[in-house]
Amino acid sequence: MAANITNKYVVFKLENEEYGIDILKVKEIKEMLRITRVPKSPSFVRGVVNLRGEVIPVIDLRKKFNLQSTNDSSSTRIVIVVVDEITVGLIIDTSSEVLEIDKELIEEPPATIASIDHSYIYGIGKVGERLIILLDASKIISMNA
């Protein structure tokens, strides 16, 4: 496991589950932007957006995780993450907060988690009664996953 991970996570919702991404990987969280479809791109790539003059690809996390797609709502957000100098946007249902999760409270992912490929999951964080699925941003961005 990556050694230099802090214990602060940006927590957001997809379907009914809560997910977290290492805060150092997150550049910002944007409200929905106008997306231009890119033909011949993988189905989970919704398209590209203009982020202050930069063209940035946007990944639909619901599609990526094989969840049912829904229409965007007013709470839909784009989380801009930067991994290895690649900037991408991740479309999520709603973002909630930044949480601090101690390393002792993070468990290895269990063998089966409904409908989500394990390789994206870095661990499960326990905060009180809540279980937060911690995502490995670089795995999401690697195209062939």
Partner 1 sequence: MDMNQYLEIFIEESQEHLQSLNQSLLGLETNPKDMQILNEIFRVAHTIKGMAATMGYNKMTNLTHQMENVLDDIRNGKIEVNTFIVDVLFECLDFLENAVNSIASNGNEGTAAADEIITKLNTILTGKASSGAMAETAITAVADQGIMKFNQYENSVAAKAIAQGFNVFKVKIVLDSGCMLKAARAFIVFQTVERCGEIIKAVPKVEDIEDENFDSEFSIAIISSESEAIIKKELEAISEVSQVIFEKIEHVEEEASNEVLNNVFDLEQRSTTQIEEKESGEDAQSKKSKTGKTVRVDIDRLDNLMNLVSELIIIKTRLEGTGSDTTDQDMSEAVEYLERITTNLHDAVMKVRMVPIERVFNRFPRMVRDLSKELGKDIDLIMSGEETELDRTVIDEIGDPLIHLIRNSIDHGVESKEERVKNGKPATGNLFLRAYQDGNSVVIEVEDDGNGIDLNRVRRKAIEKGLINQVEADSMDERSSVELLFKPGFSTAEKISDISGRGVGLDVVKTKIESLNGVVEVETVSGKGSKFIIRLPLTLAIIQALMVTLGNEKYAIPLNVIRDITTINADTIRNIHGQEVVLNRDSVLPIIRLGRVLDVEGNTSEAENEMTIVVVKKGEKNAGFIVDSLIGQQEIVIKTLGKYLSGIRYIAGATILGDGQVALIVDTNSLI
Give the binding site for partner 1 (CB under 8 A). Answer: 34, 36-41, 45, 47-50, 53-57, 85-88, 141, 143
User: With b meaning 16 or more CB within 10 Å and e meaning fewer, what string describes 42-72?
Assistant: eebbbbbbebeeeebbbbbbbbbbebeeeee
Residue with smaller CB distance to partner 1, 76 or 138: 138
Min. distance of Cβ 86 from partner 1 in angstroms?
5
Nearer to partner 1, 11 or 140 (CB): 140
Q: Which is nearer to partner 1, 83 or 105 (CB)?
A: 83
If the CB atoms of residues 3 and 34 are measured against partner 1, the closer one turns out to be 34
Q: Contact 30/51 with Cβ under 8 angstroms? A: yes
**Encoded amino acid at 29, one letter:** I
Q: Which residue number, 24 or 38, has a Cβ lying nearer to partner 1?
A: 38
Least distance to partner 1 from the beta carbon of 30, Å? 13
Q: How far is the CB of 25 from partner 1 (least distance, A)?
A: 14
Minimum Å distance from CB 116 to partner 1?
Answer: 21
Q: How far apart are CA 80 and CA 56, in angstroms?
A: 9
CB of 9 to partner 1, least distance (A): 23
User: By C-alpha distance, which of 93, 97, 124, 92 is closest to 108?
Assistant: 124
- Single out the residue of 23, 90, 25 nearest to residue 51, CA to CA: 90
